[in-house]
Amino acid sequence: MEICRSKIIQLCSLPNRISKKIIFFVLVLFCLSPFASSPVALASGIAFTIIIGNPYEQNVQRYIHLLLQISIVGLGFGLKLDEALHAGKTGVILTVLSITTVMVLGYLLGKLFKIERPLSYLISVGTAICGGSAIAAVSPIIKPSTKQISLALAIVFTLNSVALFIYPPLGHLLKLTQEQFGLWCAIGIHDTSSVVGAASKYGDVALKVATTVKLSRALWIIPMSLLTMFFFKTKGAKVKIPYFIGYFILAILLNTYVPIFGGLSAVATTAAKAGLNLTLFFIGSTISVQTLKTISWKPLALAMILWITISVGSLLLIMK
């Protein structure tokens, strides 16, 4: 009797599961189309998961970083070497100032709020460098609990989502140039996906500046990992190197010096932007009500203070 009952329940739930999958793939196709934008793709992912439920949550999480890296490399084909060098030089001082400020302030606030050291460190590193990638890089070194990693990632991804929606309107309100906005995105927003998403909404020049400065900033994962090993006295830990940045640089060089790649730059950039929209949809589809419920007020307060400090501080310096 029980076996028959369970089979009936499974059969009844089958159309529902199929419907979820169909809607998921329709949204994927929409995000890959020219009609989607970065904020809309992210909002679609969040709404889909909260209202319907993501049938592919575990699978999606596996491909987010890979898809983002491929999209970033594709954007490299839209850059010339002189543009990349100019943007990189512009952001060096701001990058050093922002990382130092966030790490020192994060340490002090973590002590003040009495937050566990690994958790406050993960939030600080994620805010200072490049969000989830930085958290993933230092986690094997400081050995936090699974709950602490999940909480830090949930907070960073939530604030990234907010930033993607509010940065472009604020940029227009403050009448920032595309260069100023691209630089502000690269310094003030945590994760590379949201940085590129916000900048692409503002314009092509903003996108080029934001991508180059953000990836230059991402290279700080290496010295930060080494410093983390020193401060946490970790022996035998491995430093995670963001190798895909090398492919991004190679794409810039090919676009600059090999004529055939220069002719393909428009196609590569369009495909990269579509890939980025799909990445943001995937990220949004991992933000559920359950994820939001795990966020407690002290770590959230720490993350928000760090984010507001670096956003306002970098904006004031850029607008000087």
Give the domain ranges of the chain: 2-318
pLDDT interval class at 11 (50, 70, 90): very low
Q: Can you list the alpha helix ranges (DSSP code H) found in 143-203? A: 146-173, 178-188, 192-202
The span from the CA of 13 to the CA of 21, in Å, is 13
Give percent of the chain with pLDDT exceeding 90: 34
State the CB neighbour count (10 A cutoff) for residue 266.
11
Specify the pLDDT at position 9: 41
The span from the CA of 310 to the CA of 209, in Å, is 18
Task: Answer yes or no: is pLDDT of 292 > 90.
Answer: no
DSSP state of 33: S
The span from the CA of 234 to the CA of 216, in Å, is 26
Task: Answer yes or no: is pLDDT of 159 > 50.
Answer: yes
DSSP state of 240: P
Q: Which of 59-73, 80-94, 169-183, 217-231 has the highest mean pLDDT?
A: 169-183
CB 53 within 8 A of CB 36: no
> Can you tell me which residue has the tokens 């770590």?
299
Task: Answer yes or no: is pLDDT of 276 > 80.
Answer: yes
CB 17 within 8 A of CB 143: no
pLDDT interval class at 236 (50, 70, 90): low
Task: Answer yes or no: is pLDDT of 251 > 60.
Answer: yes
Residues 6+ apart with CB under 8 A from 315: 174, 184, 188
Specify the pLDDT at position 122: 94
If you compute the radius of gyration of the chain from its CA atoms, what whole number of angstroms results? 20
Task: Answer yes or no: is pLDDT of 300 > 80.
Answer: yes
Over the stretch 126-156, which tens digit does the pLDDT of each residue have?
999 888 888 888 888 888 888 888 888 888 8
Higher pLDDT: 309 or 146? It is 309
Higher pLDDT: 7 or 252? It is 252
DSSP state of 57: H
pTM: 0.82
Higher pLDDT: 81 or 195? It is 195
DSSP state of 74: H
The span from the CA of 240 to the CA of 117, in Å, is 21
Higher pLDDT: 218 or 89? It is 218
Angle at 162 between CA 157 and CA 167, to 5 degrees: 125
Residues 6+ apart with CB under 8 A from 127: 102, 106, 156, 190, 303, 306, 307, 310
Specify the pLDDT at position 3: 52
Query: CA quadruple 113, 98, 41, 61: dihedral positive or negative?
Result: negative
